[in-house]
Chains A and B, each alone.
Chain A
Amino acid sequence: MEKLSLRMVGAGLIRGLVETARNFTGSYCDPARLTTVQYPEESLPPVESARTFPFLVFDGDSQSGLRCVACKICEKECPPQCIYIVSERDEKGKVLKRPKVFDIDISVCMGCQICVEVCPFDAIRMDVKFELSVFDRFKPLLLHKEDLAKSNEYYHSIHPLEARETDLRLAAARAKQQSKTEGTKSSSSASSTTKAP
């Protein structure tokens, strides 16, 4: 038997009103309904793949452990050319494997992450800070080495999976390097012993 539909003007309206009334009262009783995050008191949970602008990673607890060797690959690869690097030279003019000046202009940086992809030393990574509003358009948005250098612990806190993977890779590379030097040392010592004066 087919259902007799009582097609009344207003039936849908009543259903709608009940729905909104339920929403209204539910929003006071049921905390799961209000999904609003009260920024800036609360903030959304951090996401692994979030990124804003680059920063430099240093191992240990001071800037002397900076991984960057001023190879200038990221400077060359950066599409809007927002990185400026000057290597450190000692008194005799020999190039040291450290940057003296490392500036990133974040008003130009477009967050493409190319610098991160090309860095052979895992020295530059993407940060997640977005509360960077300043009152002057030029000077405060040019970040220097001191502003950009952040510790490996910080890196772990913002991108845990990536940081762990990088650490493992670096540890493995170091171990391989060490075994290789040990091997050559032993072979050289072996060769030195075989060499008769």
Chain B
Amino acid sequence: MTVQPTAMKVRGVSRTYRDGTRSVTALEGTNVDIPDGEFVSIVGPSACGKSTLLNLFCGLDKPDSGSIEAPVLGEGSLLGRVGYMPQQDTLMPWRTVTDNAAVGLECLGCGRQEARRRAREHMDRFGLNGFELSYPGQLSGGMRQRVAMLRTFLCGRKINLLDEPFGKLDAITRASMQTWLLDYWQENRCTIVFVTHDIDEALFLSDVVHLMSPRPGRIILSLEVDIPRPRKYGEVVTSVHFNELKSSLLRSLGKEA
């Protein structure tokens, strides 16, 4: 086996922040490696420091101690170089679907017309055909998420962080979005760090699932998901092996709780 380059390398990271008069330790001595080009999930209970970890990954926040490096990106600040899709879709209600999707490119210095043109090229692949000139308020939840995802993926980052992108969708839309995302990722390989609190979702999508403990957050289990790709939702989530993996994750969670 060849040695895979590392996309993200987290060593002994701690982060404490003040919440009013309390100080909250979100992360303590966290270590994690994210291999390049893999689909990695981070799973954990609510408020386990998942979002804190993502903030560090995309450079919006700095650790109190420890280090975060992105060898595939080289030296320098991570801010502005790592793709990020926040939990809320944060679409701008005053921009059309095309213009919302183009926001990232525009920020990166791409001209408005050029950004629009490139956004329009992807409308079909993102299931947004015919909605180019619609406003976000006219879209369904699933479509809004696809616009937000297009906005992030259009920037063509090597590393993309997705923070519970399907958290607010109904189960059926959710399953089809998961399948869609896997297809897209298989065509356009990049490193994806996917945060969720849904164990099924994490297992179905990922190469590796990192399980986080309740606060202060540490990685308590890193599980290789050796289910062959391409994966079919109905087959995978009902298979015996899927359920074995799931039960080992649940056991680890149970020990911590």
Q: Does A associate with B in a complex?
A: no
Interface residues of B (CB under 8 A from A): none
